[in-house]
Amino acid sequence: MSGMVEIVSKALESSFIEAVSEISGEAFEKTGVSLPGPQTWERYARAAIAAMREPTEGMVDAAYDYDNSGAQLSESYDVIYTVMIDAALKEAE
């Protein structure tokens, strides 16, 4: 596992641990909840990344808005990607 799958996998696992601790009011280790293994987190990560293949209308709008800001498009792909993902996260709020 490497790259974005690993990053998302670790983020999902960390979020799970935090959520269990927050909901239970105890340290994760004291909750008795089983932590899924690495293969499970990798599967979830791949599913999450695959779900982002088709941008939402808000993501496309954010990219167009950034593109129309006067930035050089060829130098801005990483920023546009970030803007689109930020827009997707904002839609979920």
Please say whether the beta carbons of 48 and 11 come within 8 A: no
The residues spanned by each domain of the chain are 1-53, 54-93
Q: Is the pTM of this model over 0.75?
A: no
In this prediction, residues 14-35 reach a mean pLDDT of 97
Indicate the average pLDDT of the chain. Answer: 84
> Per residue in 71-91, pLDDT tens?
665 556 777 777 878 877 777
Please tell me the distance from the alpha carbon of residue 30 to that of residue 18, in angstroms, as a whole number. 13
Q: What is the pLDDT of residue 17?
A: 98
Letter string b/e over residues 57-86, b meaning 16 or more CB atoms within 10 A of that residue's CB: eebeebbeebeeeeeeeeebeeebeebbee
